[in-house]
Amino acid sequence: MSYVSLEDCLTDLEKNGHLVRITEEVDPYLEMAAIHLRVYDAGGPALLFENVKGSRYRAASNIFGTIERSKFIFRDTFAQVQKLIALKGDPIKALKHPIDNLQTGLAAMKALPLKNPLSKPVMYEEIQISDLPLIQHWPKDGGAFVTLPQVYSEDVDSPGIMKANLGMYRIQLSGNQYELNKEIGLHYQLHRGIGVHQTKANARGQALKVSCFVGGPPSHSVAAVMPLPEGMSEMTFAGLLGGRRFRYTYQDGFCISTDADFVITGEVYPGENKPEGPFGDHLGYYSLTHDFPLMRVHKVYAKKNAIWAFTVVGRPPQEDTSFGELIHELTGAAMPQEIPGLQEVHAVDAAGVHPLLLAIGSERYTPYTPAKQPAELLTIANHVLGTGQLSLAKFLFITADDTRQLRTHHVQAFMEYLLERIDLTRDIHFYTHTTIDTLDYSGTGLNSGSKVVLAAYGEVKRTLCKEVPSLLKELRLFRKASLAMPGVVVLETARFESYELAQVEMEVLNQQLVYQLEQLSGVAMIVVADDAPFTAENIRNYVWVTYTRCNPSHDMYGIDSFTENKHWGCRGPLVIDARIKPHHAPPLEKDPAVEKRINRLFEKGGSLDGAIKN
């Protein structure tokens, strides 16, 4: 159905058993986030907080908490949007089957934004930042943040909504050095459209006008995170997915989404930055305090009985995981069509998305050669690492499967397939001194680190061990050998002190193993961690610890390693030092006192009594 507002969506969810109202007063400082996290972890319903301490506005979260609920929200438009995205990749389909695609064409009419609608509910009243539910999610956060914003900016060289950008960039509302009600922080990372807009505005020496929309029809939030084909406006996509044209107007030169629940308008001036953060982010760690653009608040609008939409991010999976799943189902084969030879790609959510990328490609370059080895895969890997946000990938594991049975979303099966075939003397390719995700602190500085491609193709080279070899249970300095998955063993050692000492420690490990490689034939990878049993407990822990805490150029070693003509390889197992380093951001931890306080809502008689399964 076509929702005209966020409340319209929440009412529909409640009627269908997907939402619970919380009537008790709840503190926006840590409590609301803690409740959300507990309900999300249990696969529970969307939440409507009706009594937010310190604010007269209600708040809603966990709206997209499961892929099933997300698809339910867009049940009337989902298939048509899938078809439209497919046609974008292959428009000849529409010409060959005009009758079949007639309905798709009619649905596309909803894509055209509607300027100056008669009804403008968001402009019901002007308020201040301090009137909003100022939600702080994690104990060490720098203040309150907007976590489901739709941040709108226009190209100063080509103004207008059809060339505008709508993105989900973090907004800090309070704390640090921000002057409440007058200044807020705008945090955006690499490869974001707003960066292009600010660069152009800076070149002209003028302020960039920015509008932050919160709430509104749920399609608007999804549009803000959707990786769209070149030339397609997020506002047109919001109309398509929502089955309702994106309605907007202009006030004081700022674009206003008239169906939003709240709109914050302001200007970003050249060279004006202030410290933003810390913030508990989706990698499962705090992103630390750094200077980011300052937005001078112009006006804040709210509709009558507005609802503040928010989410909570932390160690994945979280609600943003459902966003990723929804996007994957919507886009289908769109990404492979953009990169020749690419069949499938998966940014692993459990590893924080950008740290670990799995891909399946083709090998068609030399069918006349008996020996199978990566060739086209390396071309595809370079293309992947040069494409949009995929370029933020730190570890790219890529392989080819002639049987077309392998799937990147089956993470362990994919990893086993690749590790069985990888030639560790040949198939590891480093990119040093390059850009990485802003939120990844494993590198050498903000946005700075290294990448590595592990490309494997051909016949099976090893049978992966399914038990820890006895040799790895009898080492000096390294203990608690644990099997994370076939072929991957985790060892525990002293905490990381320095890279100089790490070199010594890894050489100690090398000397104990280098002359006994035959006993390690089934081990493709050794991970050195602070807590081996935890890391090896399940595939989720393994990928989170290993790939978020490693800078490839600094933290990858190998047993019997060598460098030949500037190419690095190893004749024994690959070794990854996945210990926490002194420069890493601290991991997120819940506040025990807050966890105890929110128990009242889940006990008999509380709003959430029976809402989730124990």
Locate the domains of the chain by residue range: 72-309, 319-456, 470-577
- In three-state secondary structure terms, 133 is coil
Strand-by-strand arrangement of the 488-492 sheet: 479-485, 488-492, 525-529, 574-577, 556-558
List, in sequence order, the alpha helices (H) in 165-206: 193-204
**What secondary structure does DSSP assign to 497-558, as a single string?**
--HHHHHHHHHHHHHHHGGGGGGGTT--EEEEES-HHHHHS-HHHHHHHHHHS--HHHHEEE
Contact 557, 491 (CB under 8 A): no
Per-residue pLDDT at 596:
96
172: left (phi over 0), alpha (psi -120 to 50) or beta: beta
pLDDT averaged per 10 residues, the chain (length 614):
93 97 97 97 96 97 95 91 69 47 62 92 97 97 97 92 91 97 86 79 92 97 81 85 95 97 96 94 92 96 98 92 83 68 92 93 76 88 88 94 92 98 97 86 87 96 97 96 98 97 97 96 98 98 97 97 97 98 94 96 90 72
Per-residue pLDDT at 364:
81
Rounded CA gap, 299 and 251, in Å?
10
Rounded CA gap, 597 and 574, in Å?
46
The CATH superfamily holding the domain 72-309 is Electron Transport, Fmn-binding Protein; Chain A (2.30.110.10)
Rounded CA gap, 359 and 343, in Å?
8
Q: Pick 319-456's CATH classification: 3.40.1670.10, 3.40.50.300, 3.90.1280.10, 3.10.129.10.
A: 3.40.1670.10
Fold (topology level) of 470-577: UbiD C-terminal domain-like (3.40.1670)
Rounded CA gap, 223 and 240, in Å?
10
Rounded CA gap, 85 and 77, in Å?
12
Rounded CA gap, 279 and 439, in Å?
10
Tokens of 164: 């505008």
Residues 6+ apart with CB under 8 A from 120: 249, 256, 258
* Number of separate helices (H) and strands (E) present in the chain: 19, 30
CA angle 348, 351, 356 (to 5 degrees): 60
For the chain, the residue count is: 614
Per-residue pLDDT at 276:
95
Rounded CA gap, 418 and 421, in Å?
5
Per-residue pLDDT at 336:
60
Tell me the whole-structure pTM to 2 decimals.
0.90
- 470-577 matches 319-456 in CATH topology: yes
Beta bridge partners of 254: 251
